[in-house]
Amino acid sequence: MKILFKILFTIFIFIMTDIFASPQMPDYIIYKKDTIPTYNLILEQYLQKQNPDEEKLFGLSFRGSEKLGVPLNCWRGYQAIYEVIDDKLYLTKIISCGALKDKTSISADDSTKKIKKIFGDKTRDNRVLIDWFSGIINFPQKIKNNRQLRWDGVFYKIFEYETVLEFSSGNLVRQEEVHNYQKVPKSINRIDKDKISDVLFKRLKKEKWQNENDCSERYLVTIGGNGKVSQIRMTYSEKEIEEFFEKEEYSYCIKKFENALKDLNFDIIKDKGKPMSEDVYIEIWQKENGKLENWTH
């Protein structure tokens, strides 16, 4: 039963990933005369609050107004351009997907119509003050060799060096240049996330695994904000675990993971300058002799 469940789950994930996980175009922010991609969907958040019953996918709403329909890499059907003017945040344009990157002619009249349709009398000088937004906008600094540290596979990205702007009701209250990677002495490098599962497997392989308990499964290992392993779990819901797994075997496998990984120390990854935790996927196969194989990749 457990093997059948794993096969069905794998097929489902492959289908969903192929259909929906298209990399998405960012919005843009104009700050100090630079036009920079930003992965903060401020306008989209506003539209979703105004229309909570709209069909959504991964937090992005479909828009059907474009002549050629909604491209797969721009589910929301538009891109927004924001600008910081006199320490205030404005929405200045709503453009067709890819228009800025492809250097397509951007119609000011078309943009203004879209803004006025949404915000009506709040529109001033063909733009609108984003006074409903309190929070943080982050975007990569324009410096050489600024590495992309993390990407969720669809939209959100974290860069090693970023600018962080904090707003309160549309007013700029803080600006900071942050470094999102902290090297820790005698700790494991985390720049390449894909290599972390290999580090985990080397530790797991040193453990002695009982033949009577089959721990062949998919796991998520959480590395906390302090660079230590903070949680280990299988990639299923609690209900699925209760239904498809024996309690004693499940506990045994998790404890073996905890014991093998408890002494690991990693460098610290940050998001907007704050230490973050992240999940690392690993899949192992336990052979009849108790030896492990790394099935992650």
Q: Which residue has the higher pLDDT, 3 or 199?
A: 199
Q: Is the pLDDT of residue 107 over 90?
A: no
For the chain, which residues make up each domain, given as ranges? 15-179, 183-294
Calpha distance 294→285 (Å, rounded): 7
pLDDT tens digits, one per residue of 154-202: 889 999 999 999 999 999 999 999 999 999 999 999 999 999 999 999 9
Bigger pLDDT: 271 vs 210: 271
Q: At what angle do helices 247-261 and 196-205 cross, to 10 degrees?
A: 110
253 in Cβ contact with 217 (< 8 Å): yes
Structure tokens at 214: 């089959």
Q: Is the Cβ–Cβ distance between 137 and 40 less than 8 Å?
A: yes
DSSP one-letter code for 194: G
Please give the C-alpha separations between residue 65 and each of 51, 80, 246, in angstroms, as whole numbers.
16, 15, 52
Higher-pLDDT residue of 60, 83 = 83
Q: In terms of Cα–Cα distance, which of 136, 93, 98 is closest to 116?
A: 93
Q: Which two tokens stand for residue 122?
A: 């709040």
Instruction: Output the pTM of the full model.
Output: 0.80
Q: Rounded to an integer, what distance in angstroms lies between the CA atom of residue 249 and that of residue 126?
A: 63
Q: Could you tell me what percent of the chain has a pLDDT over 90?
A: 62
pLDDT at residue 1, as a whole number? 39
Tokens of 156: 């959100």
Report residue 103's pLDDT band, with 50, 70 and 90 as the boundaries.
low
